[in-house]
Amino acid sequence: MAAQENIQLTEIMFGSVLSRAVSAVAEFGVADLIEPGSPRPVAELAAATGCHEHALYRCLRYLASHDIFVEDPQGAFGLTPLAAALRTDAEGSFRSGARMLGHMFPAVAELENTLRDGENGIVKFLGQPLFEYLPNHPELAAIFDGGMTTIHGSETPAMLQAFDFSGIATFADVGGGNGSLLTSVLLKYPAMKGILFDLGHVIERATANLQKAGLSDRYEVREGSFFDAFPEGADAYLMRHIIHDWDDQQSIQILKNCRAVIPPHGRLFIVEAVVPAGNATSPAKEFDMAMLIYPGGMERTEAEYRSLFAAAGFELVGVTPTASAASVVEGRRV
């Protein structure tokens, strides 16, 4: 009898409950109600959040068994480092990420159907592709934007530490979201100009961030879709977590649109989690399942990126790992 294997598989299966519990307390903002070093009775937390007291107690007790919150002998709950990261005011707060994944979690339940027909679960859940749904649902779009920053925010300093972008005159961040990456690049390279390119409903949230950083005279915002055309005028084009959202045919079209405007000396940077060979665990393999379930794209191996680049008129010239899950995949025109 595979007793040990059954125990291990049981723990794995209950991982979905743990994920949902974290998302639920993040949605209710429970961590925001607990000051560091000052545990609060569950009755107060339930009253402040509108939760059922005993249900909330059982959920927090469960989370405390996983080092998320801590229960004292009087039944009050305090913060652990993991719980503190769920506070809205925490540096690099994970609350938005937990809320985002909670809102999209129902799509995970569609994985069995996805394995049958290949259609991503978010379409089955929302009734349309994620990036068609978000523009018409600004509240979820804001949560999604914050969640992406939460999950991928640590990649920016890791990328800047691992890769040298000096010598670039004008740097275009395509699909640049809230502008956090472009802001960091421009602050590190004072002589560099920047272009932020994204859809209109996204750019509205990005402009304020760039202006707050004092970069108003060093960047310009251009509105558009990378499926239609890329902005002209840059000598380097970067896409972070863009290509992985799309299948090969769509990705090649995006890259061809870049190829149409990039100058002969231009450089293309794709910042993604590159899938390693072998059976070892990898963040790239975790992200790949998210791509399968949510937007319907995929994380790729170096060889798969090489093929994509070749199909769009680029040559892959290097892959630079960083201290984060992401690598910088560089391409040049051929």
**Does 1 score more than 70 pLDDT?**
no
Cα–Cα distance, 217 to 211 (Å, whole number): 9
- As annotated, the active-site residues are 244
Of 9 and 303, the one with more pLDDT = 303
Dihedral sign for Cα 79, 85, 86, 90, please: positive
pLDDT at residue number 150: 83
| CATH classification of the domain holding 37 | 1.10.10.10
Per the prediction, the chain carries an average pLDDT of: 93
pLDDT at residue number 78: 98
One domain, residues 160 and 144: no
One domain, residues 212 and 320: yes
Dihedral sign for Cα 234, 230, 212, 148, please: negative
**Residue-number span of the structural domain to which 68 is assigned:** 3-90
Structural domain contains residue 98 = no
pLDDT at residue number 50: 97
**pLDDT tens column, 193-205:** 999 999 887 777 7
**Does 146 score more than 90 pLDDT?**
no
Q: Which of 53, 68, 90 is the last residue of a domain?
A: 90
AA identity, residue 205: R
Structural domain contains residue 179 = yes
pLDDT at residue number 25: 98
One domain, residues 24 and 82: yes
**Does 141 score more than 70 pLDDT?**
yes
One domain, residues 157 and 214: yes
Q: What is the mean pLDDT of residues 304-326?
A: 97
Structural domain contains residue 95 = no
pLDDT at residue number 134: 87
Stated as kind and residue range, the H or E segment containing 49 is helix 42-49
Q: What is the mean pLDDT of residues 223-227?
A: 95
One domain, residues 185 and 244: yes
Q: Do residues 283 and 224 lie in contact, with contact meaning Cβ atoms separated by under 8 Å?
A: no
**pLDDT tens column, 147-180:** 888 888 789 999 999 999 999 999 999 998 888 8
Q: Enter the tokens of residue 264.
A: 């002969």
One domain, residues 171 and 294: yes
One domain, residues 137 and 161: no
Q: Which of 115, 132, 149 is the last residue of a domain?
A: 149
Give pairs for 220-227: CB < 8 Å, separation 24+.
Answer: 220/194, 220/195, 220/196, 221/195, 221/196, 221/197, 222/195, 222/196, 222/197, 223/197, 223/198, 223/199, 224/197, 224/199, 225/199, 226/174, 226/175, 226/197, 226/254, 226/257, 226/258, 227/253, 227/254, 227/257
Cα–Cα distance, 193 to 34 (Å, whole number): 43
One domain, residues 133 and 164: no
Q: Do residues 37 and 78 lie in contact, with contact meaning Cβ atoms separated by under 8 Å?
A: yes
Burial class (CB in 10 A: 0-12, 13-18, 19+), 154: middle
| CATH classification of the domain holding 326 | 3.40.50.150
Q: Which of 82, 114, 149 is the last residue of a domain?
A: 149
Of 49 and 113, the one with more pLDDT = 49
Give me the number of domains the chain comprises. Answer: 3
pLDDT at residue number 154: 84
Structural domain contains residue 229 = yes
One domain, residues 222 and 277: yes
**Does 243 score more than 90 pLDDT?**
yes
One domain, residues 184 and 277: yes
One domain, residues 194 and 327: yes
Q: What is the mean pLDDT of residues 14-36?
A: 96
pLDDT at residue number 179: 86
One domain, residues 215 and 325: yes
